[in-house]
Structures are given as C-alpha cells and as structure tokens.
Structure 1
Amino acid sequence: MSVFTLNNIRKTFQNGQVKEEVLKGINLSLKQGEITALMGTSGSGKSTLLTIAAGLQQTTDGSVLFEGNNLVSMSKEQVRKIRAEKFGFVFQFAHLVPFLTVEEQLFLMLDIAESSLNKQARKREVDRVFDLIGMSHRKNALPASLSGGEKQRVAIGRAIIHQPKILFADEPTASLDSERSKDIMLLLKDLSKKLQITTLMVTHDEEMLAYVDKVVKMTDGKINLLE
C-alpha cells in the first residue's frame, strides 16, 4: 500500500538568464514499512528530490501526496506541522546538541514535535526507543564521548521518538566505516519493519543496497526503478 506519492515532480532553477530543469517529471510511490534508496551521481537530482519530498523545498510543478494531502498546495505552517509530527530526518552527520546528554536529545525532539504525552509517558517512550536502538547503557553520555556509530544510533532514535510515518535519510552512513555502516543499515531495516516506518534514503554506497527494499537510480533528473 502506497503511503507517500510523488506525481510528475519538476524542479527548475534560474541560473542567470538560463533555466535549468533538474527534475524532469518524477513519479514515485513509497510503500509502508519499506526502505527505498535513491542513487545517482552528483548533480543527478537525488538530494533535490529528497528535500522536495520532505517539504523542505518547493517544487516547480507536480504534487507530493501524504495522507490525502498535497504538500505543494499547503501553507508553510501546515507543512511545518506535518514535518514536526509525521516526518523524521537522519543526515550524514548526527548533529547532536553537544551539551545535552543522549537522553536529553530525545526529550528535546518530543518538545519539537509538540508531543501530547505527559512526563511519565515521555520517559517510557524514551526508554522504549533506547531499547530499540541499543543505547540504553549510554543514555547519560554526552555526544563527545560517543563513537561515530553510536552518534548515528542516537540520531536515528531522535528521528523516530515521535513515531513518524516517513523517515528521510540523507547519506546516513557516509561518515562511517564499512562495519559501522552495515550496523546502521541493519538497524534502519529492523526499525522499518518493526515500526512500519516508510524510509526514503539517499546513498552513494552500493554495498548498502543489500539492506533496502527498492532501488531508484537517478540520471539527469529522471529515475529508473532497478528493483
């Protein structure tokens, strides 16, 4: 069942007197609980497509459909609310707040998502996520004391603490070595199935494709479904 659909997405940038079309009519459907990988060389449009899908950038034409709503026609505040409540984000670097403990990072995300949970329920939810990401033993640690893989696990925990429907991941393993990259992909795969989170991930690492459900290759603003 498709839970997120991109219809005829086009994006044009003005470069002086020249218009450059970087996305040329993209159509893509994402299914619940599946990980879809976007691959392509630099300049192929994959990062632009990811930011448009996440409501972080306007499209020139087309629609972004989620839960019966077209993000393209919604106000900035409506889209912001959907991002805060329904979307999660993981990037190449963890971007953890340096002076907050691991546990405090997750509590902060619940505040940002405007969670309706009371204090006790928030604590239970944070503990549940720590178990899911395998970081219960490090919840009082500061980011500076964490390894790269541990930081990324916390970033993933922060991204899912508010139970999002869609997870957007931009090169989530690019800053890690091969072994830790595989650990993170195994975690993302486990969470996508266990929590039924739909994931759209940009990656350049072909070894990571063994952990995804669908691969989309982008070339010159167009896509080809590989598997």
Structure 2
Amino acid sequence: MSILTKTVNLDMNYPLGKTKVPVLRDVCCEIEEGSVVALIGASGSGKTTLLNIMGGLDTPVSGKVYFRNIDVHAMTEPAKATFRARNIGFVFQSYYLLPDLDVLENVTLPGKKLNNGFANKRLADRALVLLDKVGLSERAGHLPSELSGGEQQRAALARAMINEPELLLADEPTGNLDVATGNAVLEHMFNFVRNEKRTLLLATHNMELAKKCDKVLELKDGKM
C-alpha cells in the first residue's frame, strides 16, 4: 500500500510560565492508505497533539506533515482549512454537535461549508445514507439533546464522513461511553472505514481495540 500521510521529525511544546514543556519530540510515523492504525499511550503522552498536527489544526514548532507528498503546514490558513474539509474527518471524544440543529443538519453542515459540488438534495441524500449505516435514520429530525451519548457519537461519525475524506482521525471516540455502547460505535466506525476504503488513525487507551488494528503506534513521553 502507498503512504497516505507521514510525519517527519515533529517537535511540539507548550509554554508554562517562563519555560516550555515538550509534548512531541522528533516524532516520525507513516500511515498507509486504507489501513486502520491505533495510536496508544498514557494520558499526556501527546496523542491528541499529534492528531491535531496531522489534521492541520495545530502547527508544530518544527518538523513536517505530508499528505500525499503535500507539505500540510506550508499552506496558508485558508488553504489549510479547505484541505481539512476535503481530506480529513474528525471524531472527537466530545461530540461537538450543534445543539440548535437537528441530526441531519449537523451531518450535512461540513458539506455545505465546503461547497464541494454536492447539491443540497444530494448532500441530504448522502447524509441519510450515512445515518442509515450507523442506525440513526429514524433520528434524522431529532435534536442532539434528544439522543443518547452513543447516538450522538454515531451522528458525529456520520458527520465526519459526509465529505468522503480519505483520512479519519478519531481521538478517544468512546471515552465518554460505557463499554457496550462504545463497542457498538467502534463497530460502526470500522465498518465505515473498511466499506468505504478509507484510512483510520485512532487514539485509544484500549489495548484490546489496538490489537484489532492493522498497525499500532505508541507514544511515550512525546516520543514514538
């Protein structure tokens, strides 16, 4: 398989008073196209920071992120925003559904912002297909407050896939869910990725889950 994205000598730190706390140190990794990769490590090891940098949300102090040989952080901020919308789907531990929009509106919102050629009806049709795949077709008209935690996370997964991104970045997506509900969400996520031939990088503490992935990367004290 070809390399979809890779990091080269990433360094990242955050200011703490007059000092700087290192978070990532010389991190290098490669993610193959079509693979499911687990990113493991203790809390504070830098998993979220690495995902944010790979997704173009944060900028490293030094080092490179390449996506199909394109230097992500060499882009202007507007270009980077368009790149994210076209190529990256994010699934966070918190669902970040807009409370005043129903499920269908939440799922279609990234497509409307991207203006990627989907007509509104086509966009809604795709959203309904995605909601059906995660078992939420009957909840399309409901507000997030009317959904359980597991349902909200499944809606967030459908939203992440609406623009048909090549890479899905999931940061502890079941951290706020009980085991049974979390396993159901993960099953939907794995099915999505396999059936739509996408790539998944999944940050997790769950070693049993990591064993189900094609590859496991470990961060320890900011080092890969």
- Residue pairs, 1:67-146, within 5 angstroms: 67-146=68-147
Deviations 1:38-77 (CA, angstroms, capped at 9, x unpaired): 1111221111111111111111221100122101211111
Q: Is the CA contact 2:104–2:124 (under 8 Å) kept in the aligned structure 1?
A: no
Note the aligned Cα RMSD (angstroms).
1.6
1:220 aligns to 2:221 (yes or no): yes
Residue of structure 2 equivalent to 1:180: 181
- Residue pairs, 1:46-85, within 5 angstroms: 46-85=47-86
Distance 1:18 1:140 in 2: 50
Distance 2:107 2:86 in 1: 14
> Counterpart of 2:165 in 1: which secondary structure?
coil
Deviations 1:98-154 (CA, angstroms, capped at 9, x unpaired): 222111112222112223111332232122212222211211122122111111110
1:199 aligns to 2:210 (yes or no): no
Identity %: 33
Q: Is the CA contact 1:168–1:201 (under 8 Å) kept in the aligned structure 2?
A: yes
- Where structure 2 has 5 or more consecutive residues not aligned to the other structure, the ranges are none
Deviations 1:138-190 (CA, angstroms, capped at 9, x unpaired): 11122122111111110000000110111111110000011111111111111
Distance 2:106 2:73 in 1: 31
Output the TM-score relative to the length of structure 2.
0.93
Output the TM-score relative to the length of structure 1.
0.92
Structure 1 stretch displaced more, 18-27 or 89-98? 18-27
Residue of structure 2 equivalent to 1:9: 10
Structure 1 stretch displaced more, 57-66 or 206-215? 206-215
> Counterpart of 2:154 in 1: which secondary structure?
helix
Q: Is the CA contact 1:182–1:208 (under 8 Å) kept in the aligned structure 2?
A: no
- Where structure 1 has 5 or more consecutive residues not aligned to the other structure, the ranges are none
> Counterpart of 1:219 in 2: which secondary structure?
coil
Q: Is the CA contact 1:33–1:195 (under 8 Å) kept in the aligned structure 2?
A: no
Distance 1:213 1:131 in 2: 27
Q: Is the CA contact 2:37–2:214 (under 8 Å) kept in the aligned structure 1?
A: yes
The offset of 1:18, in angstroms, is 3.0
